[in-house]
Amino acid sequence: MPLLLLSGMFDFSFLPKYSVYFVRGVEYTLILSACAVFLAILPALLLALMRLSKNRLLRIVSGAYIAVFRSTPMLVQLSIVYFGLFGVIKLPQTMLFGFINVSMFIPGVVALALNSAAYVAEIFRAGILAVDQGQTEAARSLGLTQSQTMRLVVLPQAVKNILPTLANELVTMIKESSICGTMMGIQELMWGAKTVATTTHLMMSPYLLAAAIYFCINFPATKAIEAFERRMRRGDVR
């Protein structure tokens, strides 16, 4: 029995017939994750600036948003967005690129972006605070307004600080996107593995293949980010 179970774990005979599910799943996962992170950037920057504002109301609103989205499960947020918000807003059953269902893709991207914005906002805030205060004082002494100082002096330097962490958020989002397949039926990588497992009655090998694909995407990306961080630190020393 253990040998039978072990052989079933490494039975990839389904690949010639079902490999398209994994290829499409990888494409869908990468598109979904990238769109979610890029969509989160502007709201996250706004939230970070609100957190740093002298206006108490803005600080409370942004702090409440970040606290709510960082303190509740992604599954709950996705359910509220999909069944609540997009239960009222009806989207067309249009297919993009032949395999992306707009009525599922957009709610998935919105839910992931809303969640990611809370984390990216803190990344932006930390990056802005890491800029030396003397830079702001020098800019203000030259006659720049507060908004000009932030836009022309602080933010360009903050971007350098946050780029590696922002790239890490994309890696995290690739993993987080798997919940969209199990919850909404979005045809990303985990949906493909689940579909193949159900169809072939092989309960382990499709998921092992999905895990291997996630690893092959995320591990090299993580190492590339680490190398980029080390290169940036060498630049700072010089």
Domain boundaries, the chain: 2-237
The pLDDT of residue 234 is 67
Residue 51 and residue 60: Cα distance in Å, rounded?
A: 8
Q: Counting every residue, how long is the chain?
A: 238
Neighbours of 59 (CB within 10 A): 14
Three-state DSSP at 164 gives helix
Please state, in angstroms and as integers, the Cα–Cα distance from residue 236 to each residue in 36, 123, 176, 192, 201, following that order: 31, 20, 33, 44, 55
The pLDDT of residue 238 is 47
What CATH superfamily is the domain 2-237? MetI-like (1.10.3720.10)
The pLDDT of residue 9 is 67
Helical spans, DSSP H, in the chain: 2-9, 15-51, 56-71, 74-79, 86-88, 102-129, 133-141, 146-149, 155-176, 178-184, 189-200, 205-237
229's tokens: 């961080």
Tens of pLDDT along the chain (238 residues) come to 454 445 556 677 888 888 888 998 898 889 988 899 889 989 999 999 899 888 899 999 999 999 999 999 988 999 899 888 887 888 777 777 777 788 888 888 999 999 999 999 998 888 888 877 777 777 777 777 777 777 777 777 777 778 778 888 888 888 888 888 777 778 888 888 888 888 888 888 888 999 999 999 888 888 888 787 777 666 555 4
Orientation of helix 102-129 relative to helix 56-71, angle to 10°: 120
